[in-house]
Amino acid sequence: METLLVHADIVENSNLLLAVIIPLFGSLVVMTLRGNPNLREFVSSSASVLLFLMVLSFIPALKSGKTLVYPIFQLLPGLSITLRADGFSMIFALVASSLWIIAVFYSLGYMRAHDEPCQTRFNACFALAIFGAMGVAFSDNLLTLYLFYEIVSICTYPLVAHHQDEESYEGARKYIVYLTATAKFFLLPALIFIYVLSGTLDFPHNINTGIIPASSTEWVVIMLYVFCIFGFAKNGIMPFHHWLPGAMVAPTPVSALLHAVAVVKVGVFCTTRTMLYIFGVDLMDSLNLGIPTAYFVGFTIIAASMIALSKDNLKARLAYSTVSQLSYIILGVALLTPHAIEGGLIHIVNHAFAKITLFFCAGAIYIAAHKKCISEMSGLGRVMPFTFGAFAVASLSMIGAPPVAGFVSKWYLLIGSMEAHQVGILLILIASTVLNVGYFAPVTYKAFFGKPPEGEAVAGMKEAPLSMLIPLLIAATVSVIIGIYPNFMMQFVWMITG
């Protein structure tokens, strides 16, 4: 299995740089179009389409066994800003770029329907966040990863603080404090120490070897590992998850794309990339780092689900659900068996499509019915059948029921935990599934079968505007499609595990 990737052809390809620059350039153009909203939205959407096409264009080369790289700046020996596209990058790049297209149209509808202020700034920062996410996806070493990780933190601050009231400033403050403090406190020393030990921060081209020299002291490696896990606080692992519920003060399109896809997936992507490509399966295995990690994030899975159960605010419930689901990905990778790693990584995709659908629905409900709390949504399903239908489909994906995408991840994760002989992990996964049912099923059930609150007529309400409804239906449909045909995305995962 190693032979396939160790000898992979490494080809220089400047289109990688283009792929990262497209959203940046789009953002700069958007900034100049303050006075022309239609043109501005046109630029955003064309940039998103262009980016997606660019990412797609890398697929043939990757399929033929190549890895694309593009060095940009050489800082010190072994320390550079370099881009790379491999199977691992593609999982995240494809998700982020395709969902950006959907999100651009959705936010157009949301922002205009809600008559939000400062839409230019909003669009520009949105594109900048995608710029950061693309950089993370295509980074070839830990420094590049860290650079773009920090860019994402800084550029999303204006999005969280968008409403500029007390609540959003408070949420945004928490957001930036958690994210930058953990990165500086844990990641920076880890990064430098790893460089001192290894003389480089470049990812190898397989998941087994890592770059930490075998001669390193055991406790140092363990310390570095712990630092790397906590340093990427965007991954939502408890106890550094508080920023995520706090960030829900942002407009819903932000919550949808950033806090279900781009930002949190940046965290998880960075964590897993570091686990597999800096420490490597061999070292993690020999130091026995995997199973403790799996149990540690297992706690997050269960605890966050419990908290989600207690939340009546729909976005808050979704946020805690995100915290819980993100840990699935890390759990899978931490088990270190091929199937578990595959299950974990494919969950990046599956969770993204399902969770964005759920957030889109929450936004649509808010726009159409001005309701934020689940207890007020009884009976709404009858007037908003499409929205709640999509919600139901995405819920099924979260729960892991066939034929929706989430089933695929859960399948692989369950097999993986059995391969690793971890009954405890198996129980965690099952318990979490039950909890998922517990906090998602009532939403749909009440919407369709519940009675509207006394003295409130739902008759006058109707679905949200089409520019919101269509994106959320597309996202839900994609969830089903990748549930039925998982191989398109699985091929990239297989490139990683060989």
Residues that bind another protein (CB under 8 A): 73-76, 79, 81, 143, 146-147, 150, 154, 157, 161, 164-166, 169, 173, 176-177, 180-181, 184-185, 188-189, 192-193, 195-196, 220
Nearest to 139 by CA among 16, 233, 323: 16
CB of 405 to another protein, least distance (A): 34
Vertex 131 angle, CA 126 and 133, to 5° = 95
Q: Which is nearer to another protein, 132 or 210 (CB)?
A: 132
CB nearer another protein, residue 199 or residue 403: 199
CB 301 within 8 A of CB 409: no
Cβ proximity to another protein: between 52 and 178 the closer is 178
Compute the half-sphere exposure of residue 34: CA atoms within 13 Å on the CB side of its CA. Answer: 5
Least distance between another protein and beta carbon 262 (Å): 19
- Contact criterion met (CB below 8 Å) for 58 and 15: yes
Q: Among residues 150 and 285, whose Cβ is nearest to another protein?
A: 150
Instruction: Kindly report the number of other CB atoms within 10 A of residue 434's CB atom.
Output: 10
* Smaller CB separation from another protein, 73 or 449: 73
**What is the C-alpha separation between 143 and 146, in angstroms, rounded?**
5
Quickly list H helices, 161-242.
Answer: 166-182, 188-198, 218-231
CA-based nearest residue to 267, from 399, 118, 145: 145
Q: What is the phi-psi region of residue 80: left when phi exceeds 0, alpha when psi lies from -120 to 50, beta otherwise?
A: beta
Q: How far is the CB of 407 from another protein (least distance, A)?
A: 39
Minimum Å distance from CB 237 to another protein?
A: 19
CB of 188 vs another protein, minimal distance in Å:
6
CA Rg, the chain, in Å? 21
**Minimum CB distance to another protein smaller for 113 or for 188:** 188
250 token code pair:
């942002």
User: Residue 220 CB, nearest distance to another protein (Å)?
Assistant: 7
* Integer Cα distance of 260 and 255 in angstroms: 6
Contact in structure between 377 and 453 (CB atoms under 8 Å): no
**CB nearer to another protein: pick between 81 and 383:** 81
Measured from the CB of residue 164, what is the shortest distance to another protein in angstroms?
A: 7
CA atoms in the 13 A half-sphere facing the CB of 243: 28
Tell me how far, at minimum, the Cβ of 167 lies from another protein, in Å. 10
Nearer to another protein, 273 or 317 (CB): 273
Return phi, psi of residue 148, to 5°.
-75, -30
